[in-house]
Chain A
Amino acid sequence: MTTLYEDRSADVPSDVPVRRIAFTVNGVKKIAEVEPRLLLAHLLRQGFRLTGTHTGCDTTNCGACTVLVDGRAVKSCTMLAVQADGHEVTTVEGLATASELHPLQEGFKEEHGLQCGFCTPGMMMAAKALLDENPDPTEEDIRWALSGNLCRCTGYQNIVKSVLWAAEKLRSQS
């Protein structure tokens, strides 16, 4: 029920402040005890071993660490873990169900929207936030919504197509 850090060392001093937070990760309630300075991205990656959330730039530019917090796209390298207290966090690992991929995941594969794959989770999470709000986006809407996420491999054209593909599938399902 609760995932905590490994106790890596016996000699971590007791004066390191620790905060207890309770939040939801991919639909499951979690409790964690964290240093106040710990970034959410690091809690997800190292604490929860949800390594689909990547850290690329440390300065909130690249968007590889994008997750959803209460449905909004947030760069988790610029949010402290303690700020997630009481909130609902969704990572790329929460996109697919056990049996079915999310249409965004299918779309990225169908339209060759990824190459090295490093930016992909962040791209898909930013795109999910867009599609949740705007199920029928134009190419321009998509380009604007993803402009906080950098990709060095694809040139974006196929990423835009991937999101359009997913939008269409989602509309046909609803």
Chain B
Amino acid sequence: MSQALDEIKIGGLGASRKRVEDNRFIRGKGNYTDDIVLPGMLHMEILRSPVAHARITSIDASRAWEIPGVRLVLTGEMMATRNLAWMPTLSYDTQAVLATDKVRFQGQEVACVIADDPYIAKDACEAIVVEYEQLPVIVNPVQAVADGAPVIRDDKENQADNVIYDWEVGDKDGTDRAFAQADMVSKLKLHYPRSHPSPIECCGSIADFNRATSKLTVYMTTQAPHIIRAAVALVAELPEHMIRIISPDIGGGFGNKVPVYPGYVCSILASILLERPVKWIEDKSGNLISTGFARDVYLDGELALRSDGKILAVRMHTDADHGAFFSDAQPSKFKIGLLHSTFGCYDVPVGHLTARGMYTNKAPGGVAYRCSFRVTEAMFFQERMMHAAANDLGMDQAEFRRINFVADDQFPFRTPFGFLLDSGQYGKCLEVGLEAVGYQDFLRQKEEAKANGRLLGIGISTMSEPLGAGNSREYDILGIKMFDSAELRVHMTGKALLRTGARGQGQGHETTWAQIVAHELGIPAEDVTVEEGDTDTAPFGMGTYASRSTPVAGAAISMVSRKIRAKARKLAAHLLEVSEEDVEWELGRFYVRSAPDRGVTIQECAMAAYSNMPDGMEPGLENNAYYDPPNLTWPFACYIVTVEVDPETGVWDVLNMVAVDDCGVRINPMIVEGQIMGGLTEAYAMANMQFITFDAEGNCVGSNYMDYLLPTSWETPGFELHGEVMTPCPHHPIGAKGVGECAAVGGPAAFVNAVMDAVKDTGVRNIDMPLLPDRVWEALTYRRDVSGAPPVRSDDD
């Protein structure tokens, strides 16, 4: 009889294990960057530009130097003497660390002060006098390419205009032919507004250069400590082994904490110059106006359709507003991230996508805000386009999707833009969602309500998201291949220490990673400590973003556990005095095939590795694994929202929100559901209120939480989650797919489609997000599309 352990009881795969990290957070004993105090530590504050585009004519810091307690004032000129006024971005561009010649967006770093106390540093920043000669401002791509537009990046040789790239992917001729044969063409044009990931914790760092050892230790809010170490080694020309990046607890990341920011660089230089630890903690305005934004893409596309509803081809163009520096954090091969994953879940034979990127006088970024490199824009356009096309065809929204889904027996499926979908049950997910929301009933209710002057609407969004970059053949950042790693050390008593190259920011790695070890080795999850974020101890990895941790680092954990198990098998054979071939494994235990009662536990094998190994065997029980995934993982999601729109005010309320997520095997269902609910809330936020825009002078509207609206517990609707559809990933060692971002990616279109459905009778085709009451009211009242593109329209339009 099997003596295998009960996997759920030991906190293995599928256990909704309570989180380990909670124990410190609920006591207020987390260790975030700002909580760290080092002896002799100084404090840094940044002076930012109040204007969006100007030539700096003078900087007078003399009064700042006079304030007692001020230790150093850094300006661009001083940075330049050390070749640090500019730094490379993650997209092969350059970015000013401290401005020398010009400022190119409001909030750009101009100077910084290091003082004994943050209050003194702030006082001193105010005492710095900077004179600006203002220049014409560009706040959108149309202005960027207009005749006579000033060249924003005149610092770059060979940059004659404001275009960063002109890129295309797909089959132009094939697409043209398909359009020529279409019965009908459906078009849509929209703007996905600029947003900010806005974790509650801002960015910050503590640089600590030790002259005696030449070692630089930097505690910082980074989702990718090893990339930062590489960047510091290259930018500051310090030897990599003398750089230690420690990413302590992170108060939310969402992509905002991937790039390298000027503040990090300044704190490092200041610490080297002063030989004391220097802490920089950004304030919220600084975070919102200067660090990695997301989206800000204009999407214009069309579908070639057959009258029976079959999609024949897709054609798209995007204009992306990248701000003053091209500092997207994304795979280098693809200029607009994975935008060409659009329409992946539908069997579309051919497609062509063109993309242009523009410099504007806005903050740089283009980070993967809770998504896998621009897939949010891709899936939003896809699902808004699907909604519009179904209406144009006069077809039911669900039926139109059913007709075009990639079928269960078509996997692996090559998309028109070259991705390879791994697995899925798309139709089944849709049916579960429709059943849960009571689709047919709702359509009836909607008609009844209409008779009473009430506006109800339903919106569907279905999509498959490409998660878990690499493989290394196609995915790299600055040439560094996107694999990940794990290192497992089993102590002699069978307890273990696991380290990975990922860096969680709330995803619960300390809990779930131990569950993978429990699944593979039968070591109870509570016996496994998980550590991440310290480049001196963790194996090299690309960090945590783009839902890549479970697909890549999670897979590495399985693989390293299997290496440990292979060695343990040899130890077991030795202990059981049989040949290795006669040893069988069940969870937590090896036994003799012919005598199952004779067995040894994994813990006994661990003890033997230190005390009783066979002759010639290397002692110890530890190993590492670097995992290069063969493909992305492709979870699927179906989100359905019902709303009621108030025709008099344009306010809309969510009646119901159903989410069906097929993310393959769920390691910890509780954590997966938590991730989905968080993503749905961000989707609701984007659809309802959350955006950052600019006035014509380039002033950021949304530079604090009074102007940049984030949903609270009061507005946020409840969600109904469904996890009953589960298609394992065929190439992941435990069948898991990424999940943390699907809802934020696929969700927004469900909300918008629901409102558009409610106002369908007006003939309005599009209202740009966020669907603020005034925009919906305008659409209803004037029966016209409403664009949200900056600059904000003046009232007399």
Contacts and interface: CB of A to CB of B under 8 A. Distances in A.
Contacts of A18: none
A117 B311 CA distance: 45
**Chain A interface main SS type:** loop
B251 A116 contact: yes
Given A101-B27, A149-B713, A153-B678, 10 more contacts: A101-B26, A108-B26, A114-B26, A116-B250, A116-B505, A118-B201, A119-B251, A152-B200, A155-B678, A159-B713
A119 B249 CA distance: 13
A50 interface: yes
9 contacts: A8-B117, A57-B200, A59-B705, A112-B674, A116-B199, A117-B25, A118-B32, A150-B705, A155-B679
B698 interface: no
Interface string A45-63: 1100111111111110110
B452 interface: no
B46 to A, nearest CB: 14
Q: Enumerate the 6 nearest inter-chain pairs by beta-carbon distance, A residue then B residue, closest first.
A: A52-B28, A118-B251, A117-B25, A116-B506, A61-B705, A115-B506
Interface of B: 18-19, 21-30, 32, 34-35, 37, 68-69, 116-119, 198-202, 249-254, 283-285, 505-508, 670-671, 673-675, 677-682, 704-706, 710, 712-714, 716, 718-719
Given A55-B34, A118-B32, A150 B712 contact: yes
**Chain B interface main SS type:** loop
Contacts of B250: 116
Contacts of A35: 119
Contacts of A91: 28
A13 B250 CA distance: 36
Nearest to B370: A152
A152 B283 contact: no
Nearest to A144: B714
Contact of A115 (B201, B674, B713): B674
A58 to B, nearest CB: 5
Interface in A36-87: 37-38, 42, 45-46, 49-59, 61-62, 64
Contact of B198 (A37, A108, A152): A152
A158 interface: yes
A109 B22 contact: yes
A132 interface: no
B719 A93 contact: no
A156 B506 CA distance: 15
A109 B713 contact: no
A162 to B, nearest CB: 10
Which range contains the number of A residues in contact with the other chain?
35 or more
A45 to B, nearest CB: 8
Given A58-B284, A152-B710, A110 B27 contact: no
A8 B18 contact: no
A152 B253 CA distance: 10
Contacts of B710: 150, 152
Nearest to B709: A61
A64 B118 CA distance: 20
Given A11-B69, A62-B705, A116-B250, A153 B506 contact: yes
A164 interface: no
B122 to A, nearest CB: 10
A117 B251 contact: yes
Contacts of A118: 30, 32, 199-201, 251-252
A92 B28 contact: yes
A36 to B, nearest CB: 11
Nearest to A106: B26
A117 B506 contact: yes
Nearest to B286: A58
B618 to A, nearest CB: 40
A93 to B, nearest CB: 5
A120 B199 CA distance: 13
A131 interface: no
A154 B677 contact: yes
A23 to B, nearest CB: 19
Given A9-B116, A53-B28, A115 B18 contact: no
B739 to A, nearest CB: 13
A58 B719 CA distance: 31
Contact of B19 (A38, A64, A109): A109
B712 A147 contact: yes
Nearest to B35: A51
A4 interface: no
Contacts of B706: 59, 61
A58 B283 contact: yes
Contact of A158 (B507, B677, B712): B677
User: Which residue, A58, A116, A156, A158, has most C-beta atoms of chain B within 10 A?
Assistant: A116
B744 to A, nearest CB: 10
B671 A112 contact: yes
B527 to A, nearest CB: 20
A117 B252 CA distance: 8
Contacts of A55: 34
A124 B30 CA distance: 15
Contacts of B682: 152
A32 interface: no
A62 B780 CA distance: 34
A152 B25 contact: no
Interface string A132-159: 0000000000111011111111111111
A154 B199 CA distance: 12
B27 A93 contact: yes
Contacts of B719: 155, 157
A1 interface: no
A115 B508 contact: yes
B718 to A, nearest CB: 6
Contacts of B30: 51-52, 117-118
Contact of A109 (B18, B678, B681): B18
B249 A115 contact: no
B745 to A, nearest CB: 15
B705 A57 contact: yes
B506 A52 contact: no
A96 interface: yes
A93 B682 CA distance: 30
B478 to A, nearest CB: 27
A155 B370 CA distance: 14
A91 to B, nearest CB: 7
Contacts of A13: 68
Contacts of A25: none
A11 B251 contact: no
A154 B19 contact: no
Nearest to B284: A57
B704 to A, nearest CB: 5
User: Which residue, A49, A112, A144, A153, has most C-beta atoms of chain B within 10 A?
Assistant: A153
A42 B642 CA distance: 45
Given A11-B68, A51-B35, A116-B506, A156 B681 contact: yes
A112 B677 CA distance: 11
